[in-house]
Amino acid sequence: MKKTLLCLAFTLLSIISFAQKIPFEIKKSAIFKDEYKRSSIVLVEDDGKGGVVVIRSYVGGAFSTGSGYYFEHYDSNLKLIKESEYEINYSKAVRQSSVLGVIMDGENVHIIDFIYEKDQKAYICSAMSSNINDFNFKKNELFRVNSEEIKQFVFFDAGAFDGDSGASMIVNENRTAFAITVDIKDKNAETHRMFVFDQSLQKNIDHTFKREIKDRKFVYENIDVSKDGKTIYVLGKVYSDEKKKKKEGGKYQYELTRITGDSEKTQVFDSDEHFVASLNAIVFEDRLIFLGFYSDLRDYRFKGISYFELDPVTLEMKKAKYNPFTEQFMIDKYGKDKDKELKNLSFRKIITTQNGDIIFNAEEFYMRSYYYSSPQGGGYSRTIYHYDDIVTARLNPNGEIVWARNINKRQATGGDESFISYTSAAVGSDAYFFINTGEKVKKLSNDRIQFGQTSLKKANLNIIRVNQNGDFDYQEILDNEDSEVPFMVSNGAISGDSVYFIGRKGTKKQILKVSL
């Protein structure tokens, strides 16, 4: 990969510090160009020497086809030490292919892919591995599945468990292990083959998971991997004939299965008289917790946050709580305390703090389609994606809400969402959110504020801090006039106490590091 530095004056990277309420420091790389216009950060890892390795994926366009990864090794000042490009190429015998994800083990990086090899009539999962000092990649097969066993070949984004078919890769929170799940053809049972590897590619689990139920009545919710990479937890939502007879609450139950190298154990629980549309799992320390929004009316009209804690070994239910949104949250949202439920909340991220609290983040997301008629006849339709209010809540180790806040935001796009939405992080006892806004922060009634629309031509980078008491403040990090490129705020990558963003404007690109 060859990069053209646009200005030699920026070879010495800029370091900017502020006298401010919110302490942070930012560093920028030099401006550079890629052969391919579109890329995104998929992983940032500390090199153990104060520097970082930044891994970016790229996909070519109409005039520059191809896909692969850029590997960049920076020192502590974001000065480029070494760079390499790995283009994904396959033989003619490969009929289908996808990269499932990337994981690092010290100075070794592994690209995990899954392909269909026609000549061998098999789906093969491999790791393309290299040391960051030489970027000399070598392929190592992890496992293979005969083609007649595969139900359907569909891929999903890394980190998202495949809902019904295909293959996907899930990395645990500590990035010490990962699971790969493959849907297996079976007319009589919902069946998945599940593999778990540690970051050194040591296989710990090879297990076939079966549930004697039709596909449409079993919905995969989550899969999570323990820190040691020797246990996986599979959560499914089951629509049974028995639950159809319920008079109140959701007509389904949740099933949690604990899988190790030589055992499988299942626990069933439901949401009683409440509706809990979906749950998100987190495994940390010696706790196994599931969080989600609940309602008393319908699956999509939310009243608060549900909390389930199970014993990670026996799967015994230890706690089940339903926390209604706080009065402060409702004032944030509506200007006064209203007995009103919310819609369109999409889960974004779970963060754990040093004292064992959990920060649960979501966003008010929805889509609207419009049809535009032409005076000459006919017309066209357009879908607008809305990324509105940020919802954040802190729960203590007992599963009780410490605080819940609604951060008002109005943003929408008909195309690239990378520059809107947000990235969240937590350092110490504080939660942080990074957003772009193209205008001054709007004042609302009852001492509220609202962050507004942004664009590639006007994107001011802001930081919002919510402290341990739920009080929040905000500050502009970079004004649009001070940056050569706008930064893709929804694609931030976290390493230690720092958050990394990539900026893009035309062919110009830049890496930004924000240290908290």
d(CA 83, CA 85): 7
The DSSP letter of residue 47 is -
pLDDT at residue 99, rounded to an integer = 84
Under a CB-based contact definition with an 8 Å cutoff, are residues 98 and 122 in contact? no
Tokens of 423: 């990235």
pLDDT at 9 over 80: no
Q: What are phi and psi of 241, to 5 degrees?
A: -65, -35
Q: Are 339 and 329 in contact (CB under 8 A)?
A: no
**Alpha carbons 105 and 263: distance in angstroms, whole number:** 28
Per-residue pLDDT tens digits for 99-111:
889 999 999 999 9
The mean of the pLDDT values for the chain is 85
Determine the pLDDT at residue 118: 83
- Of residues 294 and 118, more confidence is placed in 294
Stretch 188-197: mean pLDDT? 88
Residue 132 has pLDDT above 60, yes or no: yes
Confidence category of residue 7, pLDDT binned at 50, 70, 90: very low
Percent of the chain at pLDDT above 70?
90
Name the nearest CA neighbour of 390 among 474, 513, 507, 268: 474
> What's residue 12's pLDDT?
33
What is the tens place of the pLDDT at every residue in 310-357?
Answer: 999 999 999 999 999 999 999 898 887 777 778 889 999 999 988 899
Tokens of 261: 């190298």
pLDDT at 430 over 80: yes
pLDDT at 378: 80
15-24, 218-227, 416-425: least confidently modelled range: 15-24
| Mean predicted confidence (pLDDT) in 105-122 | 88
Q: What pLDDT, on a 0 to 100 scale, did the predictor assign at position 4? A: 40
Q: 371-382 burial by CB neighbour count: b if 16+ within 10 A, else e?
A: eeeeeeeeeeee
State the pLDDT at residue 157: 44
DSSP element (H, E) containing 56: strand 52-59
* pLDDT exceeds cutoff 80 at 167: yes
Task: Please give the structure tokens belonging to residue 67.
Answer: 């896909």
What pLDDT shows up at residue 3?
A: 45
Q: Is the pTM of this model over 0.75?
A: yes
Mean pLDDT of 495-499: 92
Q: Where are the domains of the chain?
A: 334-482
| Each residue's pLDDT tens digit, 353-404 | 888 999 999 999 999 998 888 777 788 888 999 999 999 999 999 999 999 9
421-426 average pLDDT score = 94
pLDDT of residue 5: 39
Q: In the chain, pLDDT over 90 holds for what percent of residues?
A: 50
Lowest average pLDDT, out of 6-15, 57-66, 82-91, 269-278, goes to 6-15
Flag whether pLDDT at 40 surpasses 80.
Answer: yes
Strands (E) located in 343-399: 345-352, 358-373, 379-395
Q: Give the tokens for residue 211.
A: 């549930």
How confident is the model at residue 397, as a pLDDT?
Answer: 94
pLDDT tens-digit readout, 436-458: 988 778 777 766 778 888 877 77
| Least-confidence region, from 8-17, 140-149, 209-218, 420-429 | 8-17
Phi/psi class of residue 311: alpha, beta or left (left: φ > 0; alpha: ψ in -120 to 50)?
beta
Q: Which residues does 508 contact at the CB level (< 8 Å), separation at least 6?
A: 6, 31, 32, 33, 484, 485
Q: What is the 3-state secondary structure (H, E, C) of 434-453?
A: EEEECCCCEEECCCEEEECC
Residue 212: the pLDDT is 81
